[in-house]
Structure 1
Amino acid sequence: MSSTEPTVDRVARADRLAPVEVAEVLALARIAGDADGADPLDEHVLLRLRDPEAPAVHLTARAADNTLTGYAHLDTTDAATGIGVELVVHPTYRRRGTGRALARGVLAAAAGPLRAWAHGDHPSAAALAVDLGFARARVLWQLRRSLAAALPEPHLADGVELRAFRPGEDDEAWLALNARAFAQHPEQGRWTPADLRVRLAEPWFDPAGFLLAVESATGRLLGFHWTKVHERPGSARIGEVYVLGVDPAAHGGGLGKALTAAGLAYLRDRRGLDRVMLYVDESNTSAVALYERLGFARWSAHVHYQLG
């Protein structure tokens, strides 16, 4: 073999990763995210990586010197609707067949339909998806806004007030509201008590930034704005409209706009941030329009591909 020809990395499959391997994958994801401007693994995958009991298939690609050059995660918890796939290749080791080798490993390991996210809509990911027969199914926009610009006032209807989420007390009622608010959403609407608990245990969780809109007379939950702050060494802090939802029965009264404004004010005034981001499905035209009216602009796209 000529020294100029690409070296094919060896790909290994495992149902569990050792802690040192998890650390390698997380480091690889950080390097790729810094290079591409978009994190290659979503929060769901990162949480599952840190949970040794979470069922998954892990594919690792390594160079001859054992350097981790790529990783693929297969979420097998709901194979009937499709195995979730996320894949990342180290920037230094791209254009040498690593991504294709991992993709072949995914196809060999999976039985049934596949769902894959390409974070940042990277051209290489799009080309690989086309070559393997994946169809572009959804687009998730990341929108951003400066918090230095004027914010709208959070005008609440009479009989509605805001308060902070109370862990252990509001869990059940919030999960029920979340399910109603996101009944048509393929991921968010299916959150379980375990999904909520693992996020409440994250270092970034801030109950004061988890705002609930409640009916004053009864205490019934009407909507919520859960904010998040991203803090990474070497990167500027940025806030996020993590999850924003309104009970369908409370639609049409401006509650979504008021909750958005209240959360943005919290991130600026209480957390000292100067910028914020959020994710919204391209097909959710009403939400996109709301956020654009509130000063958000498109920053990047995340594309969901399907096979089978």
Structure 2
Amino acid sequence: MTSPEVRRGPLDDDTAAQVRRLAAAAESVDGVAPLSEQPLLHLTAAAPTVHLLARGSDGAREGDGALDGYAQLDLDAPGTASAELVVAPGARRRGLGRLLLDGARTHAVEDRTGDPAGRRFTVWAHGDLPPARALASGAGLSVVRELWRMGVDLTALPADGERRPPRGIEIRTFEVGRDEEPWRRVNARAFAGHPEQGRISRADLDARIAEPWFDPAGFLLAERDGVLLGSVWTKVHPARGDEDAVGEIYVVGVDPDAQGLGLGGALTWRGLEHLRGLGLRRAMLYTEGDNEVAIRAYSRAGFGRTGVDVQFG
């Protein structure tokens, strides 16, 4: 088995399309997407990433250029490096996953631009599937973080919930070209301790706004006297095959100075109302597995755990 090809920075469109097809093939078998949103956006973005591309691991396809495995290493955060990887269903149980994992970890240790001692290496496993657990364990990695997926039946929500925002606060839709920087400032304050959400750059935000799913009508901002205090951003995952479209509470953020007003609950409810108004029957969100306050709040709103992503380090 040959070593994976290593590339840095954005991939060409053809190679990026191959990665997306590989991820889709894995998802059709595993029932969960192997790569999250950020790595997919970084396929063609000018981001500090390392791509590992494995071809021809299946003897029946040797030499035909087929992409059998892919790993991406995110080097954006100083001192840390986070990887995600996927192996084609027909190329599994041949050591390719371990080859990609070891390659990503090697690059994380050798890249010293963020830390002279090397970077702390982590890898995500979406769906917490047994083969991923075994791969991580065999590489000496253990669970360091859990990200819960929670879902709710929109048709079962009460007709009127925490709809009204706190007194003096108005809610309006996001305006492209006006609200990017104010939103980023509040988002950074709201998620100051979050390893991903708290460091959303303008390029990251612009990339999401450029995505086909972006709809400013589902991006709601809460203001008092023209000052942004919080927001709820929704997303719609289109129907696929026998699966109906699903709404997502993509991000809910409240400025620390506005905590305790009940704004987070009001914004979440407005987001759910928006998704229900689109005719969707279900909605979902992600939250940290150790965030007991958020989990209790979402549980009161009718959400229940539907899955978990696990980070190993």
TM-score, length basis structure 2: 0.89
Q: Which residue of 2 aligns with 1:118?
A: 125
Q: How many aligned positions are there? A: 294
Match of 2:204 in 1: 195
Q: Percent of aligned positions with the same letter in both sequences?
A: 48
Alpha carbons 1:10, 1:62 under 8 Å: kept = no
Distance (whole Å) between structure 1 residues aligned to residue 107 and residue 131 of structure 2: 22
SS at 1:167 equivalent? coil
Which amino acid in the other structure matches residue 74 of structure 1?
A: L
User: Is 2:259 the counterpart of 1:251?
Assistant: yes
Q: Which letter maps to 2:68?
A: T
Write out the 4+ residue segments of structure 1 that deviate beyond 3 Å after TM superposition.
none
Match of 2:184 among 147, 162, 175: 175
Find the aligned partners of 1:92 and 1:167 in 2 and give their Cα distance. Answer: 44
In 2, Cα distance between the equivalents of 1:71 and 1:157?
47
The corresponding residue for 2:152 is 145
1:15-42 Cα shifts (integer Å, max 9, x gaps): 2533211111001111212322221111
Q: Distance in 1 between matches of 2:244 and 2:274?
A: 18
Q: Confirm or deny that 1:30 pairs with 2:24.
A: yes
| TM-superposition CA deviations, 1:15-71 (whole Å, max 9, x none) | 2533211111001111212322221111111111032x3332111122214321110
Contact kept, 8 Å, 2:150 with 2:304, in 1: the verdict is yes
Aligned residue for 1:89? 87
- In structure 2, what is the Cα distance between the partners aligned to 1:180 and 1:103? 34
Aligned residues of 1:222 and 1:247 also touching (Cα < 8 A): yes
Paired position in structure 1 for 2:49? 56
- The gaps in structure 2 that reach 5 residues or longer are 57-61, 110-117
Give the counterpart of 2:106 among 108, 113, 118. Answer: 108
1:162-241 map, 5 Å? 162-215=171-224, 218-231=225-238, 233-234=240-241, 235-241=243-249
Match of 2:156, SS state, is coil
Whole-angstrom distance in 1 between the partners of 2:283 and 2:22: 25
Amino acid at match of 1:183: A
Structure-1 separation of matches of 2:6 and 2:202: 30
Give the Cα separation in 2 of the matches to 1:28 and 1:35: 11
Q: Distance in 2 between matches of 1:227 and 1:133?
A: 38
1:40 pairs with one of 28, 34, 56: 34
Do 1:9 and 1:98's aligned partners in 2 also have CA atoms closer than 8 Å? no
2:67 matches 1:68: yes
- Equivalents in 1 of 2:26, 2:263: separation in Å? 38
Q: How does 1:123-134 map to 2 (within 5 A)?
A: 123-134=130-141
Distance in 2 separating the partners of 1:247 and 1:169: 19
How far the C-alpha of 1:11 sits from its partner, in A, is 2.4
5+ unaligned residues in a row in structure 1: which ranges?
Answer: 1-7
- The one-letter code of the counterpart of 1:196 is L
* Relative contact order, higher structure (CA 8 A, sep 6+): 1
Under a length normalisation based on structure 1, what TM-score does the superposition of the two structures give? Answer: 0.91
How far apart, CA to CA, are the structure 2 residues paired with 1:14 and 1:224?
Answer: 37
2:114 is matched with none
Letter of the aligned partner of 1:138 in structure 2?
Answer: R
